Amino acid sequence: MTVNIGVIGLGMMGRDHLRRFSEVISGAKVTAVCDIQRETVDEMAKTFAATPFYDADALINSALVDAVVICSIGPAHKEQILAAFKAGKPVFCEKPLTPGADEARQIIDAEVKTGKRLLQLGFMRRFDAGYQKLKQTIEAGELGDILLMHCAHRNPAVPESYTLEMAINDSATHEIDIIRYLLNEDIVAVRVDRPGKKTSRACPHLQDPLIVIFETESGVRIDDELFVNCGYGYDIRCEAVGEHAIAGLTGQALTYARAPYGYGQNIAHSCMERFAAAYDSEVQHFVNRVREGKALSGPSSWDGYVVALVCDAGLASLKDGEKQRVIVPQRPALYQG
């Protein structure tokens, strides 16, 4: 069976998924595309031999579409997801699930009512082989009880449109999810520290870098350096400090060179490069679940909701610099195990 995919939102991420379905993913094909820009719809429909839609709801309910991939802007997510749930169609939704936790909660409630997991959220890092291996190492007990984690999230540069809040909602959001994934527990407190200096590479409206400090239920302390104009590359670090040993991600370079500047290993230039295999893998995972008629798995609406709660606390701390508590409600049975 080939899964017929409808893609909503044809910006950078949407187009990247169009290319992915065309070149990499097997068992699925894009049959329908939709965007608020008519011209873009027409162009993409032509390039990828898909049917053009100018209305998301129409696409979602079309018989041409078995499953929906949502790459629209965050504020549009809720309505589109609820429509898909109503149509009983599985959804792959780019993160964030919604701009705030309240809307995310409505999605949770709707999904729980359907009685089945219908949504996979685009937290692609869970499909990265390095993070998966790190999780195995932690779960195998080699490190003993985890006490601390040190993370860094560095982008070479961000556009002027990147706001201070996006450091939490767009960047830290990845660490928030992956910490929960690695440690199998929730984050209960957040504090954002503003260092005394900022890079001259950043736009005046930003404080860059920022340091965010998380605390989990069991007391693990995590610091996360968010540096989105670091200049030199896209560089992700994650180290878990345990009672008996330490483990973390390597730089993951496949090749080395010795050249006049010294010994060197490549650093990725972008998120797309660093997590290329993870992006492919998350989408293939989604397609496979749909093909097999199984309930969806991997990052869920619940994960999106809880991450949104932590982000909201982070945004509050960004304002006042205080440690903010996160109250995580009870997890519905649908999202357990």
- Check if the beta carbon of residue 248 is closer than 8 Å to that of residue 148: no
| For a copy of itself, the closer CB: 76 or 147 | 147
Q: Which is nearer to a copy of itself, 47 or 265 (CB)?
A: 265
Taking CB under 8 A as the criterion, the residue among 255, 327, 333, 337 binding a copy of itself is: 255
Residue that has been written with the tokens 């949502």 in this structure = 70
Give the binding range for a copy of itself (CB under 8 A) out of 31-39, 69-77, 205-213, 296-304.
205-213
Q: For residue 299, how many other CB atoms are within 10 A of its CB? A: 26
Rank residues 195 and 329 by Cβ distance to a copy of itself and give the closer one.
Answer: 195
CA separation for the pair 291, 282 (Å, rounded)? 14
Partner residues linked to 33 by β-bridges: 7, 52
209 prior amide bond cis, ω within 30: yes
Shortest CB 274 distance to a copy of itself, Å: 12
12: tokens are 């950078």
CA distances from 123 to 93, 156, 195, 249, 255 (A): 9, 21, 28, 18, 27
Of 82, 252, 316, 335, which lies in the binding site for a copy of itself, with binding defined by CB under 8 A? 252
Q: How many CB atoms lie within 10 A of CB 262?
A: 7
Identified binder of a copy of itself from the candidate list 115, 204, 260, 293, rule CB under 8 A: 260
The residue range among 12-20, 62-70, 109-117, 145-153 that interacts with a copy of itself, by the rule CB under 8 A, is 145-153
The C-alpha atoms of residue 253 and residue 230 are separated, in whole angstroms, by 19
Give the contact letters, 280-299, x = binds to a copy of itself (CB under 8 A), - = no.
----x--xx-----------
Q: Is 220 buried (19+), middle (13-18) or exposed (0-12) by CB count in 10 A?
A: buried
Q: Is 25 in the site for a copy of itself (CB under 8 A)?
A: yes
Given a contact cutoff of 8 angstroms between Cβ atoms, the answer to whether 5 and 31 are in contact is yes
Q: Which of 76, 233, 316, 328 binds a copy of itself (CB under 8 A)?
A: 233
Residue from 12, 73, 157, 245 touching a copy of itself (CB under 8 A): that is 245
Which parts of 57-96 interact with a copy of itself (CB under 8 A)? Answer: none
In this chain, which stretch among 30-38, 51-59, 72-80, 214-222 interacts with a copy of itself, using CB under 8 A?
214-222
Helix (H) / strand (E) element for 6: namely strand 3-8
- Nearer to a copy of itself by Cβ, of 51 and 266: the residue is 266
Among 115, 160, 243, 330, binds a copy of itself (CB under 8 A): 243
What CA–CA distances, in Å, run from 153 to 39, 146, 211, 240?
A: 35, 21, 10, 15
CB neighbours (10 Å) of residue 264? Answer: 12
Largest CA distance in the chain: 63
- Shortest Cβ 77–a copy of itself spacing (Å): 27
Measured distance CA(47)–CA(45) in Å, rounded = 6
| Minimum CB–partner distance for residue 33 and a copy of itself (Å) | 21
The answer to whether 157 contacts a copy of itself (rule: CB under 8 A) is no
Q: Enumerate binding residues for a copy of itself (CB under 8 A).
A: 25-27, 129-130, 133-134, 137, 142-145, 147-148, 150, 193, 195-201, 209, 211, 213, 215-216, 218-221, 223, 225, 227, 230-233, 235, 241, 243-267, 277, 284, 287-288
